[in-house]
Structure 1
């Protein structure tokens, strides 16, 4: 996983509540076995019409959101099934941070485990951030300081468990943590083989 420390980038606003994982990545695209290649199917039924053309009225199809690395979403983002493909598709599309008033629990954990920083902010902090993106769409997320700030606003603080903070700052997943003890594991296996 890529480490997340200080990220400055464009933010795309998806002001919809209760966006479930089937809307994030529809079930017909879950046949792949690798973690990559899902970004093209992100929000597929909202992004494209029946003929495969981009819908002009869908938020993420707006030209000013092209290349966004931060997604600002509505209440209860990631509800529905527990599919891990949802964070895979967000990450493959280019989102490294998702900001919302609340997240579904399993989706929140899946984001953390896959290198996406889910940030919970109050409605008022999110509204302020959205207003700032309308002026100049540059948002900075500082994970070590646990703050989010737009170009023209005040920083909003967010909470994150220290374990996940360390994991994301270092770009570690659970396998990386285990591999840090590789020499001890090998020594144990060698001693046990006697």
Structure 2
């Protein structure tokens, strides 16, 4: 099989690095030089109150709103940037001090974090209509989180909340219901 399917039984709830809340870690790839650290990590956080973000020096972060009214982010004391459009990514360096103010109550956000000295990752949002297909390119590893809907892959039905990790072989996804996918293409430095 050229992919691995992950679901709630594979995910890990854990406290934020700064102790200010909790997150659900969907995927963690250990850093080859520092196994206690991650090379790449995907998580979903439920944010119930504003406050400072955890610092992740040497890590590139991509954050997007999944549910809720959003938040205003103040990067290193600058003017606030509003993140209020669902699935609109914002990219920033993990060492940048960030303070968050909720716009109107709790929210859920999706986080992609990649150690710069390990490689990079590109995130895209893909909307599929019923019956549509999408082929993931050969030669690159992908992580596909199904935010809404369902799709078929290799005779298996993938449901909302599940994550597919490909091994670099081309795969075709077939939407069995309207689907919103968060697709991450992974590029380790050795492959650049």
Q: Give TM-score scaled by structure 2 length.
A: 0.28
Q: Give TM-score scaled by structure 1 length.
A: 0.28
Question: Which has more strand, going by share of residues?
Answer: 2
| Higher alpha-carbon Rg | 1
Q: Higher relative contact order at CA 8 Å, sep ≥6: structure 1 or structure 2?
A: 1
Question: Which has more helix, going by share of residues?
Answer: 1
